[in-house]
Structure 1
Amino acid sequence: MDTDLLSRPASRTPQATCPMASPGNGSAGEGVLVFHRHPDGRLELASSWPDSDEQGPFGLRPVEHLATALAGCLSEFAGRFLERRNLPTAMRIDIDWKVSIQHCAIEHMNVTLHIATPLDEMARQTLRRMLDLCPVHKVLQGNVEVGVEVVESKVEG
């Protein structure tokens, strides 16, 4: 056991005690993840904001694990909606967030779901109701402000 590690004084700065902080990042409490959902349903992490050596399991911090779960859940519901209508199921999901380092809590998450097909107003409302059924989104409601926007745009895949 490394007794030297145990004898060092613990840093008490908010950033040092919050595992959601991004050490070395000028915007320590902010982050972005971009996912691509392929036509076969695979979800791929396309890019990530932080590039620090101090990351958690699988190279992600807790807030990034939560963002990944939210992206997976929303993309599954949106994918099923599109599939049932014989529409292209490829999509891009952008999730950004802000963390209060002082309170070590997520202040808000914003999700932009890019789909490759135009929807009429009735279909948009139906998709919105389906996305509201996502259990990850439901768990966050009341605890974290989560904004979800559906954008019709060109999607690779």
Structure 2
Amino acid sequence: MNNQITAPAAEEPDHTPLLPASVAQHVDITHISGQAYAVFIRDHELTVDQPFTAGGDDDGPTPVELFVSSLATCVAYYAGQFLRRHHLPYENLRVRCEFDMAADRPARVAAVRLRLLLPVRLTATERRALRAVVDHCTVHNTLRQPPDVSVTVD
């Protein structure tokens, strides 16, 4: 078993299986009460709400927190895949995420800082290779090349 990792030339190829471009994914959102909404994703249900300070009941994360969490969990997933692929321990892998909201309009996330907390010490070469992988997670790629967003009112 060869655990040797070489630094990527420019960027390591993305080995994530792609969903067919013609297959539309969907998420359904339904109002619960107050400022709370149910989010239905495949067979999963989440509650999204606002904190007490914003008039909600704090029954779940805010949409912005979910947005930032999507990036952090995508990075965690890619890091875990990298560690597994190289036969390195990945149990207890953590990502700490901080974000700032923009001070001006429009309201948006201005900055996100992610910190990978690894369960194993990596060499400098392994760190560079891991960084190349996590910098190209699907959510990060989407932020770099934003999707077309359309809203239809029925």
TM-score bucket of the superposed structures, by smaller chain: 0.5 to 0.7
The within-5 A match list for 1:1-157 is 52=52, 54-55=55-56, 59-89=60-90, 90-100=92-102, 102-103=104-105, 104-141=107-144
**Mapped partners of 2:89, 2:103: distance in 1:** 40
> 1:132: how far off?
1.8
SS of structure 1 residue aligned to 2:129: helix
Q: Distance in 2 between matches of 1:107 and 1:79?
A: 27
How many angstroms does 1:107 deviate by? 0.9
Task: Name which structure has the greater RCO, CA cutoff 8 Å, separation 6+.
Answer: 1
Over residues 102-155 of structure 1, what are the superposed CA-to-partner deviations in whole Å (9 max), with x where a residue is unaligned?
410111010111001111111111101111220111222388xxxxxxxxxxxx
Number of aligned positions between the proteins: 94
**Identity value in percent:** 27
Change in CA separation of 1:97 and 1:128 when aligned onto 2, cut-off 3 Å: same
Q: Structure 1 51/57 Cα, relative in aligned 2: closer, same or farther at 3 Å?
A: closer
Contact 2:51 2:57 in 1 (8 A): no
Which amino acid in structure 2 is aligned with residue 83 of structure 1?
R
Letter in 2 for 1:93: V
Cα pair 1:56 1:62 within 8 Å, conserved: no
Paired amino acid for 2:121: P
Bigger strand fraction: 1
Give the unaligned 5+ runs of structure 2.
Answer: 1-49, 147-154
TM-score, normalised via structure 1 length: 0.52
User: Whole-Å Cα distance in 1 between the matches of residues 82 and 57 of structure 2?
Assistant: 33
The verdict on how the C-alpha distance between 1:130 and 1:137 changes in structure 2, with shifts beyond 3 A counting, is same
Give TM-score, length-normalised by structure 2: 0.53
Please say if residues 99 and 108 of structure 1, whose CA atoms lie closer than 8 Å, have aligned partners that are also in contact: yes
